[in-house]
Structure 1
Amino acid sequence: MATSKRKPRWRELGAGFVVPVVLIAIWQAAASMELVNSHVLPSPWAVLTRWVAYLLPQTPYADGNWLAWAVSGELIKDSLGSLYRVAVGFLIGAGLALPLGLAMGASQTVYAWLNPLTQVLRPIPPIAYIPLSILWFGLGNPPAIFLIAIGAFFPVLINTIAGVRQVDGIYIRAARNLGASQRTMFLRVMLPAAVPYILSGVRIGIGTAFIVVIVSEMIAVNNGLGFRILEAREYFWSDKIIAGMITIGLLGLAIDGAVSKLNNHLLRWHRGLEH
């Protein structure tokens, strides 16, 4: 029984690799036939070589040979730096947005007071705050974390408000008929019903935070994946640029997959999943 359930999953994963493999093969063929300038678009093999060199730690035996320039060991440090900023900025942004969103969703008075300001600030992209963030916080982690917090704040806020305000009226009427207090109504009816919306906002907020961290590192920080990509551009290391981009994509995929699994686990009751 378990084997039959695994087969569709493996087939789905296999089908997902077809298009990337075909594109890489076309890319490699074009590079081998010199249809593109290797300085503009290096071959997949050159990118893989640079990515491995970017990943491997610097060794004491590297001095005096080709490893001295080929191996940098920066990838892990840069990735950890970027992930640290994403984690701190997201926790700050989501930590502020969640209680505010619950209050605006549950109270019409709070919503009326704060919604106009929210709708004015929400369309402003976090990138527009870069000059102010540098003026307020200088360079380094603080401005980057500030920008990430802004990027994560509004997706969580808007989804939380929507989740609380769109609770099915049947549940509210049933709770009132059973004599539920306002506190019980909020904790046992509105909040659980809003959880799917909140988790969707969390997923979007993390994705936005990961985008903002790359931009902020290109401007205000002297390490991280965004900084390293900008550094590679200045030296025309296109293979390192693409290697950094691939790393960002892999990290984003891993984070999104982890959040998706967490959502599925927490929402088993909501989706009627038995296992």
Structure 2
Amino acid sequence: MKNIRLKSVAEGLAVPVAVVVLWQLACSFGLVNPMVLPSPAAVLERWWAYLAPMEAFDPAEHTRIGWLLSGELLHDALGSLQRVVFGFIVGAGLALPLGLFMGSSDAVYRHINPLMQVLRPIPPIAYIPLSILWFGLGDAPAVFLIAIGAFFPVLMNTIAGVRHVDGIYIRAARSLGASRLTIFRRVILPAATPYILSGARIGIGTAFIVVIVAEMIAVDNGLGFRILEAREYFWSDKIIAGMLTIGILGLLIDMAVSRLNNHLLRWHRGLES
């Protein structure tokens, strides 16, 4: 098993390593302009400078008092993650009950679905002017945009999960005398859970994409803001360092959500196997 995992990791790293090597060779031989595409070594150096802790001083004594984990990268990453989590909670918290109602009630579905289908294709970015007009600048418009980005994946997957419950389970529960509330709680909700968790995984990924755009417009910190700032000064290495940080954070979030889904759906995996 260990050898299989090592082989899988090696296969997954083969292409990224090859890309980095070719990238470094192209920069070393002067095939690309370093101002446009800096070398991996330059990006790594900038990334470390972006991450590096700052040495703290006592202003009164003018003496060093140690090192603080207060680098720009850590501060920006935490700010972005905070907005993602809060915006996702708001968006998913609104989408989940609405999706359950729409999926379990044909009347509610017929009345609300047309509006949702009109709003769903509108990208969150299109709401930027309205979000600034309504909420001004700061975290509020960013959270609003993130909530919209997370809302529709959770909503549509929840509706699909509820409406795709096999009718034989519902009829069997009714024949055993189960009430509507019991059927919803013990049959429909567990059967829809895989869909709901899949929607949550897509929603939090979308939220992380939206936060970068929102930070470029409405706030003065975060990974998106820092990338836009680097563009103004033509710091290509810092732009790429920020992009790689976003990719790493996105990968870690997706892995964490995937592991959580697998843990919560152990019963479902067992039934399938």
Q: Same fold by TM-score, threshold 0.5 exceeded?
A: yes
The code of the aligned residue for 2:263 comes to H
CA distance in 2, matches of 1:49, 1:60: 22
CA distance in 2, matches of 1:194, 1:273: 15
- Structure 1 partner of 2:43: 47
Deviation, 1:6, is 2.6
SS of residue paired to 1:272: helix
SS of residue paired to 2:54: coil
State yes or no: 1:16 paired with 2:12.
yes
CA distance in 1, matches of 2:9, 2:26: 27
| Aligned counterpart in structure 2 of residue 225 of structure 1, from 208, 223, 226 | 223
CA distance in 1, matches of 2:90, 2:146: 9
CA distance in 1, matches of 2:3, 2:254: 23
Q: Within 5 Å, give how 1:1-275 maps onto structure 2.
A: 5-60=1-56, 73-272=71-270
Deviations along 1:151-202, one digit per CA (max 9) or x if unpaired, are 0000000000000000011211211111111111100000000000000000
SS of residue paired to 1:254: helix
- Overall identity of the aligned pairs, in %: 74
CA distance in 1, matches of 2:87, 2:156: 18
The code of the aligned residue for 1:15 comes to E
TM-score, normalization: structure 1?
A: 0.93
TM-score, normalization: structure 2?
A: 0.93
The code of the aligned residue for 2:115 comes to L
The code of the aligned residue for 2:154 comes to V
Q: Number of residue pairs matched?
A: 260
CA distance in 1, matches of 2:271, 2:27: 48
Deviation, 1:100, is 0.5
Deviation, 1:7, is 2.3
- Structure 1 partner of 2:67: none
Deviation, 1:60, is 4.6
The code of the aligned residue for 2:193 comes to V
CA distance in 2, matches of 1:161, 1:8: 38
- Structure 1 partner of 2:60: none
- Structure 2 partner of 1:66: none
CA distance in 2, matches of 1:60, 1:185: 60
Deviation, 1:273, is 7.5
CA distance in 1, matches of 2:235, 2:266: 47
CA distance in 2, matches of 1:46, 1:36: 14
CA distance in 2, matches of 1:59, 1:201: 43
Deviations along 1:127-151, one digit per CA (max 9) or x if unpaired, are 0000000000000000000000000
The list of structure 1 runs, each at least 4 consecutive aligned residues, that deviate by more than 6 angstroms after superposition, is none
SS of residue paired to 1:36: coil
Deviation, 1:8, is 1.6
Deviations along 1:240-275, one digit per CA (max 9) or x if unpaired, are 00000000000000000000000001111111189x
- Structure 2 partner of 1:67: none
SS of residue paired to 2:55: coil
| Structure with higher strand content | 2
CA distance in 2, matches of 1:171, 1:152: 30
Deviation, 1:27, is 0.2
CA distance in 2, matches of 1:54, 1:27: 21
Deviation, 1:44, is 0.1
CA distance in 1, matches of 2:42, 2:178: 65
